Amino acid sequence: MSDSPLFQPFTGWGTGSMPQMPFKLPDATAGAAWPMTFARTYWVDLPMALATHWQRFVAGQVQEQGRLFAELSKVENPGVAFSKEMAFLQQSTLAVGAEMMELAELCQEKLLNPAHADTPAEAPTLQQAA
């Protein structure tokens, strides 16, 4: 049955070897593990990378907002407090736009190179308490 011309495009599917594709996949995806490479990239690695990147950004913005609130609590002139808050919101809006571009680049990199060996993630630097 597998010798039939109908099944020729599917050679290799049941043997654990790479199926014949009309396009060339990277060598790192060859062998029986190639579906898991794509599944891990698209359903685990990419969402985790996006969530981690976004959480770092949001944590930084929340920290800056808290610092600004602490600074504004000492300001007596409401006009100065309002202008400082508006300046922060403007800066924050620009930062969100830049962050979205970084997330889009991360998605593009992961989606176009699914079998690319990941570089070790940079270790987060921890600040020591004084």
What would the two tokens of residue 110 be?
Answer: 């992961």
Which one-letter amino acid corresponds to residue 27?
Answer: D
State residue 17's pLDDT score. 53
Q: Whole-angstrom Cα distance, residue 70 to residue 4? A: 75
State residue 36's pLDDT score. 80
State residue 29's pLDDT score. 46
Q: How many CB atoms lie within 10 A of CB 106?
A: 15
Q: Whole-angstrom Cα distance, residue 109 to residue 116? A: 9
Task: Output 51-54 pairs: Cβ under 8 A, ≥24 positions apart.
Answer: 53/99, 53/102, 53/103, 53/106, 54/99, 54/103
State residue 121's pLDDT score. 52
Name every residue whose Cβ is closer than 8 Å to that of residue 72 and which is 6 or more positions away in sequence.
81, 84, 85
How many angstroms from the chain centroid is the CA of residue 60?
17
Name every residue whose Cβ is closer than 8 Å to that of residue 75 and which is 6 or more positions away in sequence.
81, 84
Instruction: Spell out the per-residue pLDDT of the chain, length 130, in tens.
Output: 456 665 555 555 555 555 555 555 555 545 456 778 778 888 889 999 999 999 999 999 999 999 999 999 999 999 999 999 999 999 999 999 999 999 999 999 888 876 655 555 555 566 666 5
